[in-house]
Structure formats: structure tokens, C-alpha cells
Amino acid sequence: MKKGLWLISLLWVLILSWCWSSGNVVEYNDNFVAIVKECTDANQALFQTFNADWSAIDSITNSLQENISICQNSQKKASNIWDYDKDSSLKDAVVDLLSSEVEYLQKFWSTSQYRNIDNITAEDETAYEEIVRDLYKSETELNNKFVSLQEVQEAFAAKHGLKLE
């Protein structure tokens, strides 16, 4: 009887530790989702404003600076999260994505100096066109990093028994 009770106790400990571990991986994943969402939600609102109202360029420029700070803060938060069970794949992918998001915003912000110039010089036009080319390249890289993050998240979830929604 004592042996059966010990076996049942051991089984409960294993079940509870598995449930706690499973909840922990959910929380770990959800933390990263929330961190990325902070940055991307701010940027989505900014670009919707930008696309809807070009005349609001001054407020958009200020918002860009705020969004750069938001995304840098998100990047710092992600960097400070521990590795899950010695697996840093999800954290690394999130930090990489947020780093690219900051770089993209900084490039986008650098175009603002050319928007209010009435008589743009040929030199300024060339510099602006180069920034825009870099911006399109950064946008493509950023989109690829979102896809890569999704793939990393799916692999991480499979490895640690997390069901993604």
C-alpha cells in the first residue's frame, strides 16, 4: 500500500511539474508576443496616419521618434528575458526582428529632412533616392524577418510542447 501511495505521489509530482512547465512556456511565448506587439502596433498606427494624412508630417515625425523609442525599449525588454530551457531561439529571433524594426524606422525618419524642402538640390535628391532604396530593401528584410520569426516560433513551440493559436 505504501509503495502504491509513493507511486501515485510521484505521478502527481510529474503531472504537476509538466503542467507548470507547460504554463511556463506559454507565458514565455506570450511575453515575446506582447513585446513585439508593442512595437508593431505603434508602427501600424503611425503608418496608417502617414498614409491617410500627409499634411500631418510634423506630428508624424514626432511620432516616428516616439516609435523608435518604443521599439528600442521592446528590444531591450526582449534581450533581458532568460533563455527557455537553454533555448534562446525565440528570444534571438525577436531581438533580431526588433533590431530591424528600429533600423527601418530610423531610415524612414531620415527621409523626413527632405519632405519640407521646396527647392531640392540634385545632391539632396540623390541622397534622398538612396535612402528610399535602402528603405525598400530594409522593408523587404523586415518582412522576411517576420516570416523567419514565425518559423522559429513554430519550431520552438513544437520542441517545447506548446500549441500555438
Is 153 part of any domain?
A: yes
- What pLDDT does residue 2 have? 39
Is 115 part of any domain?
A: yes
CA distances to 31, 96, 102, 159 from 59, in Å: 30, 28, 19, 45
| Number of domains, the chain | 1
Residue 105 is part of which domain span? 27-160
Residues of the chain falling short of pLDDT 70: 1-23, 51-58, 116-117
Q: Global pTM? A: 0.80
Could you tell me the three cell numbers for 49?
A: 496616419
CA distances to 35, 61, 76, 78, 120 from 82, in Å: 14, 34, 12, 9, 49
